[in-house]
């Protein structure tokens, strides 16, 4: 089986789907590796490093023409700019495993199906114990949470830690994290390591213990949160009435903060507004908001994706694709996730999709010219494939930034 690793076609994307260190496991499983020349350079891996692990370096055309399986970081749905060139390169019967953003771009899943591609989505990995080592959303959220704190620390006109100096005592910065998923937890840990006084809020009261275990304070509001968590352990979308009450309670806390980092994103939907314009204007000059949900419209009412907005001296940042900024470790983590996933599907040197496998059921988007994932079919207005015994069952999915 020939596995191809192309250079990412999305502008500014520095990650690569496979790093040299994971290639021996694929070779041992009977795979031949093709890597597009220059694919790993931005992540710190040159062509010689791949060749030393028995990968064959080829040009892009040869890679797509020869590969049985394509491993990418961003598939067409997650890469609007390069979608057309990638779609045109895929061929009938080819497996494509990547981030496809299918809940936001279901039409591109239909285009994959039309080309005869067997598409599997890393975002749709079910949240089960066996799939933890394949969970790329958690891997990338870890990096995003870390990076968000560094961005805030550089933007803030004061230091994070308390310092006692001959020139007097410097007070520690106050950092408030909204959303305690993977990104939020990493943001808490990073801000604490830098010496900030950290507090955090999540609609799920069950995460209080995790917050406190990292040395932060869990902020609680007088809100009914009994139905706030889904079966997968992630926050559920809340009603407008709940969000209004939440915002009113949160305004008082935000006014006291130097830094606010928001992480609440829901795949395929607009991010909930948690920080209003009035809250921003109630913060002290020099304060910073880092909105990790900017790609989904933002948790802050004033967020503009990839821009810095000044509001009466308060800076609102909407960074995009933070994992790409730490491409070496992001690629290392993603490569582990995607290769573990691929190896779990290989039987006797060939890729086989076991229909009773919960991981396959969750991640398989399309095959044999047909969109087969129930949630995507529903978004496209397609009827269920009731008569097809291979039709995957619906599984709980997780939030994007968390």
Concatenated DSSP letters for 163-218? EEETTEEEPPPEEEEE--SHHHHHHHHHHHHTT-EEEEE-S-GGGHHHHHHTT-EE
User: How many CB atoms are closer than 10 A to CB 62?
Assistant: 14
Joined tokens for residue 126: 């079910």
The pLDDT of residue 398 is: 41
Could you please state the CATH topology (level 3) that the domain comprising 141-324 is classified under. Rossmann fold (3.40.50)
How big is the CA angle at 266 (ends 265 and 271), to the nearest 5 degrees? 55
Tell me the mean pLDDT per 10 residues along the chain, length 402: 96 97 96 98 98 98 97 94 90 97 95 96 95 96 98 98 95 97 97 98 91 96 58 55 77 95 89 94 97 96 97 97 98 98 92 91 96 95 72 42 49
Catalytic status, residue 230: no
- Enumerate long-range contacts of 390-393, CB under 8 Å, 24 or more apart: 390/355, 392/355, 392/360, 392/361, 392/362, 392/364, 393/361
The pLDDT of residue 268 is: 80
The pLDDT of residue 223 is: 65
Active-site hit among 59, 85, 130, 132: 132
User: How many CB atoms are closer than 10 A to CB 154?
Assistant: 8
Joined tokens for residue 115: 């080309």
The pLDDT of residue 236 is: 55
The pLDDT of residue 224 is: 61
The CA distance from 375 to 185, in Å, is: 29
Are the C-beta atoms of residues 35 and 55 closer than 8 Å to each other? Answer: yes
Joined tokens for residue 289: 């908001």
Joined tokens for residue 7: 């250079």
The pLDDT of residue 227 is: 53
CA neighbours closer than 13 Å in the CB half-sphere of residue 317: 24
Asked whether the domain spanning 141-324 has the same topology as the one spanning 2-135+326-380, the reply is yes
Catalytic status, residue 50: no
Sorted by sequence, the CB contacts under 8 Å of residue 221 that are 6+ apart come out as: 201, 245, 246, 249, 250
Are the C-beta atoms of residues 286 and 297 closer than 8 Å to each other? Answer: no
CA 335 vs CA 26, 73, 98, 193: distances in Å: 11, 9, 11, 27
Q: 2-135+326-380 — its CATH code?
A: 3.40.50.720
Q: What torsion do the CA atoms of 377, 383, 385, 391 make, to the nearest 10 degrees?
A: 30
Sorted by sequence, the CB contacts under 8 Å of residue 173 that are 6+ apart come out as: 156, 158, 159, 160, 161, 196, 197, 258, 259
148, 105, 118: which is closest to 303 by C-alpha? 148
pLDDT tens digits for 288-315?
Answer: 999 999 999 999 999 999 999 999 999 9
Question: Is the full-model pTM beyond 0.75?
Answer: yes
User: How many CB atoms are closer than 10 A to CB 85?
Assistant: 12
Are the C-beta atoms of residues 195 and 170 closer than 8 Å to each other? Answer: no
Are the C-beta atoms of residues 264 and 274 closer than 8 Å to each other? Answer: yes
For the chain, what are the domain ranges?
2-135+326-380, 141-324
Give the helix/strand (H/E) hosting 280: helix 277-281
Active-site hit among 234, 304, 355, 390: 234
The CA distance from 338 to 341, in Å, is: 5
The pLDDT of residue 391 is: 45
Catalytic status, residue 135: yes
pLDDT tens digits for 101-147?
Answer: 999 999 999 999 999 999 999 999 999 999 999 999 999 999 999 99
Are the C-beta atoms of residues 383 and 376 closer than 8 Å to each other? Answer: no
């Amino acid at each position: 089986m020939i596995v191809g690793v192309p250079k990412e076609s999305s502008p500014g994307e520095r990650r690569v789907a496979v790093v040299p260190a994971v290639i021996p496991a694929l070779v041992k499983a009977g795979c031949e590796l093709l890597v597009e020349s220059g694919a790993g350079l931005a992540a710190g891996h040159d062509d010689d490093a791949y060749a030393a692990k028995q990968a064959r370096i080829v040009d892009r055309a040869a890679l797509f023409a020869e590969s049985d399986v394509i491993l990418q970081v961003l598939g067409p749905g997650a890469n609007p700019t390069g979608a057309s060139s990638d779609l045109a390169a895929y061929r009938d019967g080819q497996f494509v495993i990547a981030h496809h953003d299918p809940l936001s771009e279901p039409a591109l899943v239909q285009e994959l199906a039309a080309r005869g591609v067997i598409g599997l989505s890393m975002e749709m990995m079910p949240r089960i114990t066996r799939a933890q080592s394949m969970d790329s959303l958690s891997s990338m959220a870890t990096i995003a949470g870390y990076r968000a704190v560094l961005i805030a620390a550089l933007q803030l006109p004061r230091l994070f830690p308390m310092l006692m100096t001959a020139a007097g005592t410097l007070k520690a910065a106050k950092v408030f994290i909204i959303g305690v998923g993977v990104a939020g937890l990493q943001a808490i840990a990073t801000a604490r390591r830098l010496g900030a006084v950290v507090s955090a809020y999540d609609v799920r009261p069950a995460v209080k213990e995790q917050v406190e275990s990292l040395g932060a304070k869990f902020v609680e509001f007088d809100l009914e949160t009994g139905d706030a968590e889904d079966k997968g352990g992630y926050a559920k979308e809340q009603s407008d009435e709940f969000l209004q009450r939440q915002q009113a309670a949160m305004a008082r806390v935000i006014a006291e903060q130097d830094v606010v980092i928001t992480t609440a994103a829901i795949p395929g939907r607009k991010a909930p507004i948690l920080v209003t314009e009035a809250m921003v204007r109630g913060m002290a000059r020099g304060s910073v908001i880092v909105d990790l949900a900017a790609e989904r419209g933002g948790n802050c009412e004033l967020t503009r994706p990839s821009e810095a907005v000044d509001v009466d001296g308060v800076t609102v940042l909407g960074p995009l694709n933070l994992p790409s900024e730490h491409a070496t470790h992001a690629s290392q983590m993603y490569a582990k996730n995607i290769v573990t996933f691929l190896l779990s599907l290989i039987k006797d040197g060939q890729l086989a999709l076991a229909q009773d496998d919960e991981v396959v059921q969750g991640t398989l988007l399309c095959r044999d010219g047909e969109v087969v994932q129930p949630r995507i079919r529903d978004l496209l207005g397609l009827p269920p494939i009731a008569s097809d015994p291979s039709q995957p069952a619906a599984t709980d999915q997780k939030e994007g930034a968390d």
